[in-house]
Chains A and B, each alone.
Chain A
Amino acid sequence: AQSVAQPEDQVNVAEGNPLTVKCTYSVSGNPYLFWYVQYPNRGLQFLLKYITGDNLVKGSYGFEAEFNKSQTSFHLKKPSALVSDSALYFCAVQTGANNLFFGTGTRLTVIP
């Protein structure tokens, strides 16, 4: 069975500092991993995904994520945080039936 863990409910970072939002997963077979962002009162926006190939995946708005097979992690990163990055971030794993199983979400607050 697939599962996704986001160990931090809340991450605070100062504007301009690098940010990391953590995600670990458990899947059988090859993992297909996704990050989505949810701004206040909005839907889920796709940020990036890892399917195969290069472990460092680049996505929208300057975000990137690093797939680490040995640590079963897929942490979301950005070199320099913006106040506008404040949102709820969800890590997700694609199930065998091609649906998405989501983590519990991490609320990112970027402090001016």
Chain B
Amino acid sequence: EPEVTQTPSHQVTQMGQEVILRCVPISNHLYFYWYRQILGQKVEFLVSFYNNEISEKSEIFDDQFSVERPDGSNFTLKIRSTKLEDSAMYFCASRDRGASSGNTIYFGEGSWLTVV
């Protein structure tokens, strides 16, 4: 069964460093997402991406964050100048084109980021 894959599964970085989290969405999907989950808290929407541009972003997704689809398969989340409070599990997700409402969004296994 097709799945969203994410790398790395776990990354430890020093405060102030830049981090890039990588994702390979399901191959025929066209909508891509990043969510995050701070330990013990709920899953929060960061950003959605379609047709090579951001379609929606939350207030969490400030200038520190950026997304990119550098080629036909990868979708990346870059966090510049990481802060301690950026420590979280970051989930990539995707869904296919289909009818826009009610389509299932499929999630990857997550990238656990620890900022020290």
Contact = CB atoms under 8 A, between A and B. Distances in A.
Interface in A32-66: 32, 34, 36, 42-46, 49, 51-52
B51 interface: no
B48 A99 contact: yes
A72 to B, nearest CB: 18
A98 B100 contact: yes
A30 B101 CA distance: 10
Interface residues of A, number: 24
> What bracket does the count of chain B residues touching chain A fall in?
20 to 34
B75 interface: no
B109 A103 contact: no
B42 A103 contact: yes
Interface of B: 4, 31, 33, 35, 41-45, 48, 55-56, 91, 93, 95, 100-110
Interface of A: 30, 32, 34, 36, 42-46, 49, 51-52, 90, 92, 94, 97-105
Given A90-B43, A102-B44, 6 more contacts: A34-B104, A43-B109, A44-B93, A45-B107, A100-B43, A104-B42
